[in-house]
Structure 1
Amino acid sequence: MVLLESEQFLTELTRLFQKCRLSGSVFITLKKYDGRTKPIPRKGSVEGFEPSDNKCLLRATDGKKKISTVVSWIPNTPAYSNLLRANMDGLKKRDKKSKSKKSKAAQ
């Protein structure tokens, strides 16, 4: 996995979306990031460690290529939301009829 700067991540994410537009998927995960590079031991505590506030680890993969970046609080960065909104056009619409039939059958 490649840890990139924010601007490089945006360009690589755009390339992933363009590559997978016709066939394939891009998986994006978002996770709170506290700045640790090593896991916490099960017993005992880590002394002298102060977690960084409001950071997120953002990862994207198409199954072959993996990219990631650390950003400070996603809602404050419109570049990510605009990019995601522009490229989420292949989502399937929910079928409301089948949902109502399932709930009636259960009763």
Structure 2
Amino acid sequence: MVRLQPDPFLNELTNMFERTTEKGSVWVTLKHSSDMSKVKRNKMKSAGEKIEFKCLVRATDGKKTIATTVGPKDHQRFQASYATILKARMTALKRRERKDKKKAADADKKPGGSKKSSTKAST
């Protein structure tokens, strides 16, 4: 697995999507990470130091695996670029067909139903 900086990671992810346009898939996984061993994190926690967590992003097309870590400072910029890539490359997805509300309401009504009327007798 190759760990890249966020910008080269996004470029390589775009290349992966291009290579798998005709056939294949790209899997992307996200996981929180601190880039430290558990022992070191526990020492920092007991000393009262703040631990900065990062997001580990991995992508694979079955042949090649790439990864990057994104810190809280770069998160917004990375998320915007990542969303742009996903929107541009997910062309095989189909839009969901929705029923028209009026047609659905008419279909739900039971034809020929009669209501019983009740009357009070006054004395």
Q: TM-score, normalised by structure 1?
A: 0.70
Equivalent residue, structure 1, for 2:66: 67
Equivalent residue, structure 1, for 2:92: 90
- Among 31, 42, 51, the residue aligned to 1:46: 42
Equivalent residue, structure 2, for 1:17: 17
Secondary structure of 1:7's aligned partner: helix
Q: Which structure would you say has the larger Rg?
A: 2
Q: Is the 8 A contact 2:44 2:51 kept in 1?
A: no
Superposed structure 1 runs of 4+ greater than 3 Å apart: 92-96
Q: TM-score, normalised by structure 2?
A: 0.62
Q: Is the 8 A contact 1:4 1:68 kept in 2?
A: yes
Q: Which runs of 5+ in 1 are unaligned?
A: 97-107
Q: Which runs of 5+ in 2 are unaligned?
A: 99-123
Q: 1:79/1:93 Cα in 2 relative to 1: closer, same or farther (>3 Å)?
A: same
Q: Could you say what the CA RMSD is over the residues aligned between the two structures, in angstroms? A: 2.5
Q: Which has the higher contact order (CA 8 A, sep 6+)?
A: 1
